[in-house]
Amino acid sequence: MEKAIVKTDFNFPGQKSVYKGKVRDVYNIDDKHMVMVVSDRISAFDVILPKGIPYKGQVLNQIASKFLDATADIVPNWKIATPDPNVTVGHFCETFPVEMIVRGYLTGSSWRLYKNGGREICGVALPEGLKEHQAFPEPLLTPTTKAELGAHDENISRDEIIKQGLVSEADYLELERISLALFKRGSEIAKEMGLILVDTKYEFGKKDGQIYLIDEIHTPDSSRYFYADGYQQRFEKGENQKQLSKEFVREWLMDNGFQGRSGDVLPEIPESFVEEISERYIELYESITGDKFDKANIEDVPARIEKNVTDFLNNL
């Protein structure tokens, strides 16, 4: 029986097609609804790692569900229900081919670019003299193209998005407004939990001419969090920040010689590290939501998902 679900092959009522992403498998139900199965796959540097992480999909799905509900007054979102711990069912939307990245701090990939001499991200100029983990005066919008599976997302400027016709100017300006409002709300919620929302990504689509927030929101896969307690002291000392994100997975891979570059060999991941990742994701859930994590039955995850989703769709 599968305790970590790394692949899916469902045939739900009304199913027309399926898109398999890095972590999520999205089933199109009659061009009206989407069934998003959040697997236990884990990706880093745009590469899917070979082992699944028990409970990771449940963590991500339930965090996203909570934050979709908490931001529905800012922008409509695609969620209808979560009939299974690993599944959200929602509205079918035409997806915008860009991801909206909002950065509040100079860290992660933006810091790696900056320390190597880069002084511009997506057309946004960065001043000299910034330090790692430093807060920007105002959050930066640094969009990327939405890459196909196996390809890398690419930074792109607002002007280039509009010039290429990826998004109309009117829609893009609205996406900027919504993204900054979502980031502000997420930052306020994080502060209540003793956290700092450092950076995140949002994806959007359209249904009946209306912009919808789609996919995940404010999860540790799409976002980075610092612990607020001790942030300033660590920053002043030039120390690493204590953070809630999957950056620790990226750091482990980098320590073992892998950054997704051509010629890099993916290291063998020991079971002890798989267990550590699972425990860290549960810690992330409890820290971000303030709720105790209730582990679902994982004796046979595919059978559980198939029953729960089929029953829901038959009554939708």
Query: What is the domain extent for residue 141?
Result: 96-244
In the chain, the number of structural domains is 1
- Pair 63, 220: CB distance under 8 Å: yes
Read off the pLDDT of residues 71-130 as tens digits, 9 standing for 90 and up: 999 999 999 999 999 999 999 999 999 999 999 999 988 999 999 999 999 889 999 999
Q: Give φ, ψ of 294 to 5 degrees.
A: -105, 105
In the beta sheet, which residues pair with residue 201? 101
Percent of the chain residues topping a pLDDT of 70:
97
The pTM score is: 0.89
Tell whether 269 is covered by a domain.
no
Radius of gyration of the chain (CA): 19
**Strand intervals (E) in the chain:** 15-20, 24-29, 33-38, 43-44, 47-48, 79-84, 87-91, 94-95, 98-106, 120-121, 124-125, 134-141, 144-145, 195-207, 210-214, 223-227, 243-244
**Is residue 166 a part of any domain in this protein?**
yes
Q: Is residue 165 part of a domain?
A: yes
- Whether pLDDT at 284 is above 90: no
62 part of a folded domain: no
Q: Kindly state whether residue 189 falls inside one of the protein's structural domains.
A: yes
pLDDT at 151 over 80: no
Region 310-316 average pLDDT: 95
Residue 188 lies in a domain: yes
Which pLDDT score, from 0 to 100, does residue 1 have?
47
Dihedral of the alpha carbons of 288, 289, 292, 294, in degrees to the nearest 10:
-100
Residue 35 lies in a domain: no
Question: Hey, CA dihedral for 271, 223, 133, 187, is it positive or negative?
Answer: negative
Report if residue 18 sits inside a domain: no
Q: What is the mean pLDDT of the chain?
A: 93
Give the domain CATH number at 209: 3.30.470.20
Task: Pull the structure tokens for residue 122.
Answer: 């997506």
CA dihedral of 269, 273, 278, 279, whole degrees rounded to 10: -170
Structural contact between residues 172 and 158, judged by C-beta atoms closer than 8 angstroms: yes
User: pLDDT tier at 220 (50, 70, 90 boundaries)?
Assistant: confident
Q: Among the listed ranges 4-8, 44-48, 68-72, 294-298, which one has the minimum average pLDDT value? A: 44-48
Contact between residue 44 and residue 78 where contact means Cβ atoms under 8 Å apart: no
